[in-house]
């Protein structure tokens, strides 16, 4: 079996490794010179910056990254971030989301002494743990055939979790008496970075998983370069052919054509590109078939990013700053591990800052408006950041917009971060990993279950289970 995986983001890398474990002859094709896609990196002087994703999660043995590592019999070097994230609310409250449940509760009790938190957060953790069990059983979701529905119905978690799919996170917050504006600001901050939408838009099943996510946060040693170097080594050790700087231009169900006109034949093709990118890769009748199920996303986010070196040694690596400013609701700061000299010289740190933006604002404007908008956001975030963290010296300040992400990751319109699973959304409309072409599959953060590195690895594992049947 010859398998070609197109796109070496997290989903493509995991799919290539899993295909190789199925004893297939695998070629992993990447357009860029580095692996990683939205979880890639770049260098400026002595600094190595994470381009998009900065955190890692899901490394416990029963979680997707943990399972993949067990299959590879090897793990990347990571640093435990505890607190996972520090939250700075717009009214000055500061909360450390610690790994330990009681420590986290004490933070909430200190800042919100009049509210009762424990029952709500116990519920969140219980649902989160059960949901990972359910995901492992939903290899064929969204279902294509009736027998897949029957298989899913055998999963005991389904019955206890289903009610939380039809209740919004917001409703549960009210039910537990936590409907305080500052509390909602905190929850919405967590939800936006992990589920790409806020409490009233997200079913509690997804909301609970997203709210539990900062509990387990890791920083890869060497940043995303460290993680991607590890994955590339694992690919090469597994006999996978890795083609970098090789954009795929055309695909038929048995052939992949690169930009340099090189033709590669395949028995199976796994596409790790956003689903709205897929159509342009096909032609003729296959394009017609593929187009029947692919539409542009109704809503997805773009990212505005800032990269800079700072003279500092912050130990709390991940922090979310809430501004409630009309242009920037909140921004997420990731500091490199102070001792990690592969990322910054002694006494310095490499910093990536990101915030959610609407993509349309960046594509539908003249060049001077684009530049002015970029500078305005850069100044707004940078000034707040420097003042808040008392930064005196900076180097290599650079900004990225949805246009930058489109250019470097090939993601059409600069949509990043996966698609929100919104309350009331029809679960049957979600893109799964099968396509209407029997030997073409898809993975990645626009495919169920999506969302971050942990989600794309979960998706690749689900496809693997399905292909093994
Ligand atoms: C600013 C930002 C911060 C984030 N923070 C986090 C975080 O802290 N933790 C986390 O887990 N997630 C985070 N995410 C989300 C996470 O990065 C993504 O969800 C995940 O990396 C997506 O992986 P993917 O494999 O689906 O797609 P991508 O990473 O987009 O990979 C697709 C790959 O395909 C390649 N490609 C595209 N077209 C072609 C072609 N025609 N031929 C060959 N190759 C092609 C691209 O170059 C790219 O490498 C963040 C995202 C952003 C943008």
- Report whether pLDDT(241) > 70: yes
- Report whether pLDDT(153) > 70: no
Per the structure block, which two tokens stand in for 137? 């059983």
Residue 161 pLDDT: 82
Query: What is the CB-side half-sphere exposure of residue 70 using CA atoms within 13 A?
Result: 11
- Report whether pLDDT(289) > 90: no
Q: Whose CA is nearest to atom 35 of ligand 1?
A: 7
> Strands, E, within 272-393: which ranges?
302-311, 318-322, 330-335, 348-357
> Strands, E, within 93-134: which ranges?
94-97
The CB of 30 under 6 Å from ligand 1? The reply is yes
Question: Of 416, 429, 415, 419, which is closest to residue 449 (Cα–Cα)?
Answer: 419
Residue 310 pLDDT: 98
pLDDT above 90 covers a percentage of the chain that reads: 79
- In this structure, the number of other CB atoms found within 10 A of the CB of residue 324 comes to 11
DSSP H or E segment with residue 81: strand 78-81
The CB of 356 under 6 Å from ligand 1? The reply is no
- What confidence tier does 296 reach under pLDDT thresholds 50, 70, 90? low
Q: Determine the average pLDDT of the residues in 273-293.
A: 89
- In this structure, the number of other CB atoms found within 10 A of the CB of residue 2 comes to 15
DSSP state of 243: E
77: CA distance to ligand 1 center in Å? 21
Q: For all residues of the chain together, what is the average pLDDT?
A: 93
Q: Whose CA is nearest to atom 10 of ligand 1?
A: 452
Return the top range by mean pLDDT from 151-155, 396-400, 419-423: 396-400
What is d(CA 441, CA 431) in angstroms, rounded to the nearest whole number?
A: 11
274: CA distance to ligand 1 center in Å? 9
Is beta strand 25-29 parallel, antiparallel or unpaired with respect to 2-6?
parallel
Per the structure block, which two tokens stand in for 288? 């017609």
Q: Whose CA is nearest to atom 19 of ligand 1?
A: 452
Question: Of 309, 310, 292, which is closest to residue 435 (Cα–Cα)?
Answer: 292
Q: What is the pLDDT of residues 409-449, one digit of tens each?
A: 999 999 998 887 777 666 666 778 888 899 999 999 999 88
The CB of 226 under 6 Å from ligand 1? The reply is no
5: CA distance to ligand 1 center in Å? 14
- Report whether pLDDT(381) > 80: yes
Per the structure block, which two tokens stand in for 220? 């890869």
Between 428 and 365, the more confident residue is 365
Q: Determine the average pLDDT of the residues in 95-99.
A: 98
303: CA distance to ligand 1 center in Å? 12
Per the structure block, which two tokens stand in for 180? 């305080």
The atom number, within ligand 1, closest to the CA of 10 reads 25
Q: Whose CA is nearest to atom 48 of ligand 1?
A: 37
- Report whether pLDDT(144) > 70: no
Q: Determine the average pLDDT of the residues in 42-53.
A: 98
93: CA distance to ligand 1 center in Å? 33
Q: Determine the average pLDDT of the residues in 395-421.
A: 93
- 310 DSSP β-pair partners: 349, 394
- Report whether pLDDT(463) > 80: yes
Residue 165 pLDDT: 83
DSSP state of 96: E
Compute the radius of gyration of the chain from its Cα atoms.
22
Q: Determine the average pLDDT of the residues in 50-72.
A: 95
- In this structure, the number of other CB atoms found within 10 A of the CB of residue 70 comes to 11
What is d(CA 416, CA 406) in angstroms, rounded to the nearest whole number?
A: 9
Q: Whose CA is nearest to atom 41 of ligand 1?
A: 248
What is d(CA 119, CA 109) in angstroms, rounded to the nearest whole number?
A: 13
What is d(CA 232, CA 65) in angstroms, rounded to the nearest whole number?
A: 16
SS3 132: helix
Query: What is the CB-side half-sphere exposure of residue 413 using CA atoms within 13 A?
Result: 18
Residue 449 pLDDT: 83
Residue 454 pLDDT: 93
What is d(CA 214, CA 99) in angstroms, rounded to the nearest whole number?
A: 8
Residue 464 pLDDT: 95
222: CA distance to ligand 1 center in Å? 18
Q: Determine the average pLDDT of the residues in 117-139.
A: 86
SS3 266: coil
Residue 139 pLDDT: 64
Q: Determine the average pLDDT of the residues in 163-181.
A: 93
The CB of 225 under 6 Å from ligand 1? The reply is no
Q: Whose CA is nearest to atom 2 of ligand 1?
A: 52
What is d(CA 139, CA 311) in angstroms, rounded to the nearest whole number?
A: 47
- What confidence tier does 395 reach under pLDDT thresholds 50, 70, 90? very high
- Report whether pLDDT(137) > 70: no
- In this structure, the number of other CB atoms found within 10 A of the CB of residue 57 comes to 22
What is d(CA 411, CA 37) in angstroms, rounded to the nearest whole number?
A: 9
φ and ψ of 104, to 5 deg: -65, -40
- Report whether pLDDT(140) > 80: no
Per the structure block, which two tokens stand in for 392? 């005196």
The CB of 271 under 6 Å from ligand 1? The reply is no
User: Model-level pTM?
Assistant: 0.95
Question: Of 121, 135, 251, which is closest to residue 178 (Cα–Cα)?
Answer: 121
What is d(CA 111, CA 92) in angstroms, rounded to the nearest whole number?
A: 10
Task: Say if CB 435 and CB 213 are below 8 A apart.
Answer: no
Exposed e or buried b per residue across 271-307, where buried means at least 16 C-beta atoms within 10 angstroms of its C-beta: bbbbbbbbbebbeeebbeebeeebeebeebbbbbbbb
Question: Of 122, 152, 149, 150, which is closest to residue 134 (Cα–Cα)?
Answer: 152
121: CA distance to ligand 1 center in Å? 30
- Report whether pLDDT(237) > 90: yes
56: CA distance to ligand 1 center in Å? 13
What is d(CA 31, CA 246) in angstroms, rounded to the nearest whole number?
A: 5
Residue 147 pLDDT: 67
430: CA distance to ligand 1 center in Å? 19
Distance from CA of residue 432 to its chain's centroid? 17
């Amino acid at each position: 079996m010859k398998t070609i995986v197109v796109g070496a983001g997290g989903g493509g890398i995991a799919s290539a490794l899993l295909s190789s474990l199925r004893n297939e002859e695998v070629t992993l094709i990447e357009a860029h010179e580095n692996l990683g896609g939205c979880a890639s990196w770049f260098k400026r002087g002595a600094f190595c910056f994470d381009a998009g994703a900065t955190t890692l999660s899901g490394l416990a043995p029963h979680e997707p990254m943990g399972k993949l590592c067990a299959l590879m019999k090897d793990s990347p070097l990571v640093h435990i971030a505890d607190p996972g994230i520090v939250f700075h609310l717009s009214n000055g409250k500061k909360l450390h989301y610690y790994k330990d449940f009681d420590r986290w509760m004490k933070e909430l009790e200190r800042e919100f002494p009049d509210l009762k938190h424990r029952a709500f957060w116990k519920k969140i953790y219980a649902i989160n743990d059960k949901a990972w069990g359910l995901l492992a059983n939903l290899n064929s979701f969204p279902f294509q055939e009736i027998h897949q529905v029957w298989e899913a119905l055998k999963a005991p978690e389904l019955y206890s979790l289903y009610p939380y799919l039809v209740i919004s996170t917001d409703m549960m917050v009210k039910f537990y008496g936590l409907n305080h504006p500052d509390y909602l600001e905190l929850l919405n901050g967590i939800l936006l970075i992990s589920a790409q939408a806020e409490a009233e838009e997200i079913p509690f099943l997804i909301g609970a998983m997203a709210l539990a996510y900062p509990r387990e946060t890791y920083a890869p040693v060497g940043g995303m370069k460290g993680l991607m170097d590890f994955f590339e080594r694992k690919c090469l050790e597994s006999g996978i052919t890795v083609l970098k700087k090789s954009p795929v231009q055309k695909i038929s169900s048995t052939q992949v054509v690169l930009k340099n006109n090189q033709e590669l034949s395949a028995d199976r093709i796994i596409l790790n590109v956003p689903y709205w990118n897929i159509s342009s890769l096909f032609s003729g009748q296959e394009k017609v078939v593929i187009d029947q199920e692919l539409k542009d996303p109704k809503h997805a986010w773009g990212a505005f990013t800032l990269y800079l070196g700072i003279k500092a040694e912050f130990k709390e690596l991940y922090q979310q700053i809430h501004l409630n400013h009309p242009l920037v609701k909140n921004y997420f700061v990731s500091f490199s591990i102070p001792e990690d000299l592969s990322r910054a010289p002694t006494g310095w740190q490499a910093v990536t800052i990101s915030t959610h933006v609407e993509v349309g604002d960046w594509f539908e404007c003249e060049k001077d408006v684009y530049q002015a908008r970029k500078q305005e956001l850069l100044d707004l975030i940078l000034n707040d950041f420097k003042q808040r963290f008392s930064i005196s010296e900076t180097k290599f300040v650079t900004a990225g917009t949805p246009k930058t992400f489109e250019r470097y990751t090939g993601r059409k319109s600069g949509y990043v971060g996966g698609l929100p699973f919104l309350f009331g959304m029809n679960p049957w409309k979600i893109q799964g990993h099968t396509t209407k072409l029997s030997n073409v599959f898809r993975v990645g953060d626009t495919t169920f279950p999506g969302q971050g590195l942990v989600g794309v690895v979960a998706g690749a594992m689900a496809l693997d289970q399905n292909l093994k049947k």
